[in-house]
Structure 1
Amino acid sequence: MSHKNADTVVVLDFETTGLSPNLGDRAIEIGAVLIENGRITDRFQQLMNPGFLVNGFISSYTGISYAMLKSAPDCSSVTREFADFVGKYNLVAHNASFDKKFLDNEMMMAGSAYSGAFACSMLVARRLYQNAPDHKMGTLVRYKRLPTDGVFHRALADAEMTSHLWLRMLEDLEKQYQLSDVPFNLMQKLGRTAKGSVYTFLQKKARTEPA
């Protein structure tokens, strides 16, 4: 059974060799943060050797060179280790459809699996922060003054920023709508709610939540 509350999740981020596992792209780094009851309690970070040369664009974008990957463990052994870290927790990523397709592909290739559900912090942020200039992670970090070490496009740094965003969104739901102990599936539903209906949706949830 996965943890039901949105304040207990694994937030993850992949760096990859390209945009599509269907075209043979692989993960080259995974970073993840475990949040339990609204507090960061653990982290996971590992480079992964995809077994082929990474192009120059990806190396300069991520700061991950082939030399760094050559000595890293292969994708499948890292993925199996990550499956243990994830356990039965639900998962969060910024632009989750991207990370989910890579996680699904790497899990399949490693003969591993996970049982949690996914929520997308970007979709939720689009509903909660409709006045933000855009909903890229860097913009939201500035917009909400989130803690950051200034590093982007390394998996653990990006997962840390996403964690701070996720916790801030839960905080704002409590402040603005008196919603505490938010269920994970409410965040999933919020990410799918039409922008114009967000206020009504959350007001209704606040009214039906037990005091």
Structure 2
Amino acid sequence: MIQTQHRADSVIVLDFETTGLSPNMGDRAIEIGAVKLTNGEVVATYQQLMNPGFRISGFIESYTGITNQMLAHAPSNDEVMADFAHFIADTPLVAHNASFDKRFLDAEFERIGVNYPQNFACSLLVARRLIQEAPSHKLGELVRYKNIEHDGTFHRALADSQMTAKLWLLLVEDLRAKGIAQPNFHLMQTIGKTSKHAVDKLLRQHHATI
């Protein structure tokens, strides 16, 4: 398992585009994008469409810009997810609204018998605690609120994971500005699970122990 002292700025940030909201309802992933950060620097990216084996709805085509024609020439989910398992190895994972992406990652990996350490943190939950004044904590709204650089592309997996990675590093920098010189991954997970009113106390306690 990952050590709890793993650096918060050395993670893989991922995002799925899917055919719907729940793998329990038969929905599948149709695209995955990921950014690998090492010591706060982007060292690798991953992006791949995948063919779920059935046609996607017109709504999903319109929402994502991913068409049935594009997916017809894409490799299968099993092939892509086996490759992605090698990409992530045992690196901690981050996603915006991570419960959604984790459901699909778990479901796709279960289909091919892949186990992974399941060390996940949610940038949405951390942002709710550290950027409490933001009017919304949706990814696009946070990107605009914090003036995060982007190319205007939303709801494509790599573009969203790139924006989430920038947001994640901004959150790490926010902790450094609060006096925590090297935030670790476990702290980020803990912040996401802490009530808004208790965050300052948590950070003071953490600062006192380092």
TM-score normalised to structure 1 length: 0.96
Structure 1 residue 113: Cα displacement: 2.3
Deviation string 1:97-146 (CA, Å, 9 cap, x unpaired) is 00000000000112222224000000000000000001000110011111
Q: Does 1:114 align with 2:116?
A: yes
Aligned mates of 1:206, 1:39 — CA distance in 2: 25
Q: Among 17, 40, 56, which residue is 2:58 paired with? A: 56
Aligned positions of 1:8-23 closer than 5 A: 8-23=10-25
Aligned mates of 2:118, 2:13 — CA distance in 1: 12
Aligned mates of 2:181, 2:120 — CA distance in 1: 20
SS in 2 for 1:180: coil
Deviation string 1:145-165 (CA, Å, 9 cap, x unpaired) is 111111000000000000000
SS in 1 for 2:13: strand
Q: Which amino acid aligns with 1:135?
A: H
Aligned mates of 1:129, 1:155 — CA distance in 2: 24
SS in 2 for 1:12: strand
Counterpart residue number, 1:91: 93
Counterpart residue number, 2:209: 208
Aligned mates of 2:43, 2:117 — CA distance in 1: 20
Aligned mates of 1:89, 1:2 — CA distance in 2: 8
Deviation string 1:160-184 (CA, Å, 9 cap, x unpaired) is 0000000000011101x21122111
Q: Which amino acid aligns with 2:107?
A: N
Q: Which amino acid aligns with 1:75?
A: N
Q: Which amino acid aligns with 1:191?
A: G
Aligned mates of 2:167, 2:38 — CA distance in 1: 15
Counterpart residue number, 1:164: 166
Counterpart residue number, 1:183: 184
SS in 1 for 2:8: coil
CA contact (8 A) 1:77 1:110 kept: no
CA contact (8 A) 1:10 1:86 kept: yes
Aligned positions of 1:25-174 closer than 5 A: 25-174=27-176
TM-score normalised to structure 2 length: 0.97
CA contact (8 A) 1:49 1:70 kept: yes
Deviation string 1:172-205 (CA, Å, 9 cap, x unpaired) is 1101x21122111110110011101111111221
Unaligned runs of 5+ in 2: none
Spell out structure 1 runs of 4+ moving beyond 6 A: none
Deviation string 1:41-89 (CA, Å, 9 cap, x unpaired) is 1000000000000000000000000000000000000000000000010
Aligned mates of 2:78, 2:116 — CA distance in 1: 14
CA contact (8 A) 1:62 1:153 kept: yes
Aligned mates of 1:68, 1:200 — CA distance in 2: 50
Q: Which amino acid aligns with 1:2?
A: I
- RMSD value, Cα: 0.9
Unaligned runs of 5+ in 1: none
SS in 1 for 2:183: coil
Q: Which amino acid aligns with 1:30?
A: I
Structure 1 residue 2: Cα displacement: 2.7
